[in-house]
Structure 1
Amino acid sequence: MQWSAEDVARATVRRQATGLSAGQVADKVAEAALRERETQRELRSPTRYGEDEPDPFQSDPQKLAEQWAARHAEWQRVAALMAGEGWTVYDPDRDTPGTAWDQDREARRIGALARHTAWRQEQADARDELRTQVWLTADAGRRVREIAARTGLSPEQLLAQLAAHAELRDDGTLAAGPFTPQ
């Protein structure tokens, strides 16, 4: 699952802000604002870097700009929350909106993992399935259709249940013990 820039920013800021004073948070707001401006400027006019000079924007510049814009907004939210509540130090446990977002993100993560696990199980089950076309003699076909009609199953369902009960014995004989088709 991919997180939005806002999700990443909320998690990052909550982690980094823990225990910071209002002044330190203000410094983080200023730093995020600077990084946001730099990444926006890079989007408008990309810098050309030489082979010996690494490109600090080697990743997707659009994505990087979105991440810094989201971090800037989140640092501003934390600063406003601290000022509004009169906190001297940031405590993520007291940050009700941040905690709600964190719990929502965790619920989405757990849901995504459950969906992925179910999908993987479906894929494994599909690999184990066998779809085949069987040509039976007229006599065998009539017997299968007659038994299927009496049990209320389709011929395919009857043959599938028969195969599920079949076993190969040590002497090489194939047998299906008595069973009630369902």
Structure 2
Amino acid sequence: MDVQRATFGLATHFERGRQVLVPSWLFQVRPVGMERPVTITQPAVDPAYLTAPSAPAPEPSRTEGAQPPTGPESRDVPVESYGVDGRTLTLRFWGGVCSDYAAEATESGDEVRVTVTGTPRDDGKVCIMIAKEHTERVTLKKPLGDRTVVGDNGAAVQRR
């Protein structure tokens, strides 16, 4: 048999009557007399590791001083675009459906720096990890005029 190609991937194997994915070598071979190649798999893991351990694994030790997280962490969200109506900026951004968002603007003579912060809700409910477009409004002290709107990274935000 001629091996035409070898790649690393996952192959299904049976463990206790159930299919499991196992890291494997996938060999593309063309047996003598056959027109089309076939794939033969070989586990790339020692068979000793494909069975359940005889005793449960010990609990991992905790590093001294390491503290578990204590509640939701806020994070800044990039602003995609903005609209303006008088002194009100409407900021558009993408974020998760399970977070609450707050916007703020810092004004200077030639620019307005906008920041949107998202904080995950900590209500103990399961929440889908999906993004959607959100809007938040901020009111400026004076009309935008010819000032540039920039995000928290200093890059200009597109007007829409």
Highest CA radius of gyration, 1 or 2? 1
Higher strand share: 2
TM-score (norm 1): 0.20
Greater helix content: 1
Name the TM-score, length of structure 2 as normaliser. 0.22
Q: Report which structure shows greater RCO (CA 8 Å, sep ≥6).
A: 1
